[in-house]
Amino acid sequence: MNIREVVIISGKGGTGKTTLTSSLASVAEERKILADADVDAPNLALLLHPGESSRQPFFGMSIAEVYHARCVGCGVCEASCRYDAIHVRDGKAVVDEGFCEGCRVCLHVCPEQCISLKNIERGAIRRGDTALGPLWHARLYPGGENTGLMVALLRKEARKEAEASGASLLITDGPPGIGCPVTSSVTGADFAVIVSEPSRAALSDLRRAAGLCGILAVPFGIVINRWNLSGELTETIKETCENEGWPVLGTIPFEEKIAEAVGAGRIPTKEMGDALPELWHGIQKTGRLKR
Partner 1 sequence: MKIAVASGKGGTGKTSISASLLLARPQTLAIDLDVEEPNLSILLGSFKGRVMPVTMPIARIKGSKCISCGKCSEACVYGAIAWLGGGIPVVNESLCRGCGLCPRVCPPEAIYEVDQVVGEIRSGICEGISFLEGRLRVGSVNTVRVIEETVKKAQSFNETDWLMDCPPGTACPVAASLRHADMALLVTEPTPFGRSDLEGMLEMTADMRIPTALVINKTGMGVVSLDDLCRRFNVDVFASYPFSRSAAESGARGESPFKNDAGWAETTRSLWSEIERRFS
Per CB under 8 A, residues contacting partner 1 are 10-15, 18, 38-43, 46, 61, 80, 82-84, 98-99, 101-105, 108-109, 140, 142-145, 147-148, 175-183, 197-201, 204-205, 208, 211-212, 215, 229-230, 233, 259, 262-263, 265
Q: Whole-number minimum distance, CB 139 to partner 1, in Å?
A: 8
Nearer to partner 1, 42 or 250 (CB): 42
Q: Whole-number minimum distance, CB 211 to partner 1, in Å?
A: 4
What distance lies between CA 139 and its chain's CA centroid? 11
* Alpha-carbon dihedral sign for residues 208, 209, 213, 216: positive
Alpha-carbon distance 33 to 61, whole Å? 27
Could you tell me if 175 and 182 are in contact, meaning their C-beta atoms sit under 8 angstroms apart? yes
Q: How far is CA 106 from CA 96, 160, 243, in A?
A: 13, 37, 51
Q: Whole-number minimum distance, CB 77 to partner 1, in Å?
A: 12
Q: Whole-number minimum distance, CB 45 to partner 1, in Å?
A: 9
Nearer to partner 1, 135 or 262 (CB): 262
Residues belonging to the chain: 291
Q: Whole-number minimum distance, CB 93 to partner 1, in Å?
A: 17
Alpha-carbon distance 150 to 40, whole Å? 10
Q: How far is CA 129 from CA 32, 33, 51, in A?
A: 12, 10, 6
Nearer to partner 1, 43 or 269 (CB): 43
Nearer to partner 1, 57 or 285 (CB): 57
Nearer to partner 1, 152 or 289 (CB): 152
Nearer to partner 1, 69 or 217 (CB): 217
Q: Whole-number minimum distance, CB 185 to partner 1, in Å?
A: 12
